[in-house]
Chain A
Amino acid sequence: MKRAFKAVVVGVSSGGLEALKILVPGLRKDLSVPVLIVQHLSPQADSYLALRLDEVSGLKVKEAEDKEFLQAGVAYVAPPDYHLLVEPDGSLSLSVDPKVNFSRPSVDVLFETASDAFGAALIGVVLTGANQDGAKGLARIKRRGGLAVVQSPESALADAMPRAALESTNVDHVLPLREIAPFLNNLLIGPSHANTD
């Protein structure tokens, strides 16, 4: 039986640009849920990441805006220097609260608030990174009955973040980077038919 998921959250740090350029374009544009992404960036970074990913993806990719409502088939990227939070009503909030795990945006902040909003209907994905961010958040997603996916440390440019996530909770799927998008497509839409995108 297909489980009814309502959102995917993705956390990624060093090595993230390369990883996201593989993950996001691999997602099908008829994905039935929104995707929320926290990539650690310097506070001075501009909004280039969302634009760049949008150019190379079928899925629409945009920078998250304060108080906008989530839409299926759209990927939202947290803006540099703001935390991204999910409200219980499915809208987004930004905040300039102090850094969490030395990061703003922080993966834990996104994962924990999304877990509060979506409970068991949430998929958390932790990718490459050289810190511990995301571990606490992924543990909460699991505690609430959601699904935990982690990039296999061997396939990660920086393996500390996937390892910390694996230690924090009983992760459901450990996958090489290139298999994560097909896995999500299959889980959310079903097996792909020949020649459809």
Chain B
Amino acid sequence: MNVHPETERIELRLLLEAIYLKYGYDFRNYSMAHLKRRAEYRLSLSGLASISQLQHAVLHDEKMFLIFLQDLSINVSEMFRDPPFYKALRNEILPMLGTYPSFKIWHAGCSAGQEVYSMAILLHEAGMRERGQIYATDFNRAILEQAREAAFPLAQLKDYTTKYQQAGGENSFADYYAADDERALLCSFLKERIFFSEHNLVTDGVFGEMHLIVCRNVLIYFDRELQDRVVGLFVDSLCPGGFLCLGSKESLKFSRHAEKFEVVREKEKIYRKRRDA
């Protein structure tokens, strides 16, 4: 079948509207090219012939909606992804954070917790874990369950270990987990000051008075308008002088909130909210 792209875009918009009206999840300002690809992926697996049929299936069968919700939530993540970022956190940001008697960190779009536990390890090694409180949120309930478990496939450990070392890790990465036949279970002390909870960046509100917000590889899935809204949410959730960390290919360059931040590390995408913002 050779459907005109414009017709497919109409079908896609109707699907998103249906999901929003029926289930309250708002994908209407996500990247269209991304959504289209995820819909095609579901079509290819389910034998449905068109996006309109997928819309019908999602509306009439909640199970189908939940499956498609997983498709839309890209949970690809790693521990110590982009080692230079973690190195910069360790050497430059944590010492500044350490000047506060206590501090709060928000990981928005935390997926299965890889970033959150990387942060917990950094705080541990800096002797700051007791003073910090970490809030880790995602809109995907199933992935948050996994994050709470803190268990990762053994196959990933080699990569995590290398990246931990590249990020300036001081200990042996093996000190932080116990392995069984299939999985590595992170030590439970790393979980001590972490709260996992559901939060949707599109539809939920401010998360108040954070010293550091980490939101990496989430904004790329949003269109410019939604990126602006969510960065606005971060501005309102940061204390003056608080830090914002984005993914290595994300920036505030196209954001209307850009002037509310100063650039701390250009390459590592670390920004600081101006005191007068």
* A94 touching B249 in the complex, CB below 8 Å, given contacts A67-B227, A112-B37, A113-B37: yes
Nearest-CB residue, chain A, relative to B217:
A96
| A97–B253 CB distance below 8 A | no
- Which one of B37, B249, B253 has the greatest number of beta carbons of chain A within 10 Å? B249
A112: chain B residues at CB < 8 Å are 37
| A109–B2 CB distance below 8 A | no
Quote the shortest CB–CB distance from A118 to chain B (angstroms). Answer: 9
Interface string of B13-54 (1 = CB under 8 A from A): 000000000000000000111101100000000000000000
- The answer to whether B124 has its CB under 8 Å from any CB of chain A is no
Which residues of A come within 8 Å of B, CB atoms? 65-68, 79, 82, 85-88, 91, 93-98, 109, 112-113, 115-117, 119, 143-144
Nearest-CB residue, chain A, relative to B221:
A95
7 nearest A-B residue pairs (beta carbon): A85-B33, A113-B33, A93-B31, A116-B5, A66-B220, A96-B76, A94-B220
B249: chain A residues at CB < 8 Å are 65-66, 79, 82, 94
| A88–B254 CB distance below 8 A | no
* A97 touching B37 in the complex, CB below 8 Å, given contacts A65-B249, A143-B2: yes
| A67–B37 CB distance below 8 A | no
- The answer to whether B141 has its CB under 8 Å from any CB of chain A is no
| A67–B34 CB distance below 8 A | no
A96: chain B residues at CB < 8 Å are 74, 76, 217, 220, 247
Nearest-CB residue, chain A, relative to B41:
A97
Quote the shortest CB–CB distance from A62 to chain B (angstroms). Answer: 13
Q: Which of chain B's residues 65-81 have a Cβ closer than 8 Å to chain A?
A: 74, 76
The A/B interface has a contact count, at CB < 8 Å, of 69
- The answer to whether B250 has its CB under 8 Å from any CB of chain A is yes
- The answer to whether B251 has its CB under 8 Å from any CB of chain A is yes
Contact among B9, B221, B250, B251 with A88 in the assembled complex (CB-CB below 8 Å): B9
Bound CA–CA A85/B223 (angstroms): 12
Residue tally, chain B, CB below 8 Å to A: 25
Interface string of B233-273 (1 = CB under 8 A from A): 00000000000000101110110000000000000000000
| A117–B74 CB distance below 8 A | no
- The answer to whether B145 has its CB under 8 Å from any CB of chain A is no
Bound CA–CA A178/B111 (angstroms): 46
A65: chain B residues at CB < 8 Å are 249, 251, 253
- The answer to whether B8 has its CB under 8 Å from any CB of chain A is yes
Bound CA–CA A94/B250 (angstroms): 9
| A93–B33 CB distance below 8 A | yes
Bound CA–CA A73/B266 (angstroms): 27
Quote the shortest CB–CB distance from A140 to chain B (angstroms). Answer: 10
| B5–A117 CB distance below 8 A | yes
B250: chain A residues at CB < 8 Å are 66
| B254–A87 CB distance below 8 A | no
A68: chain B residues at CB < 8 Å are 254
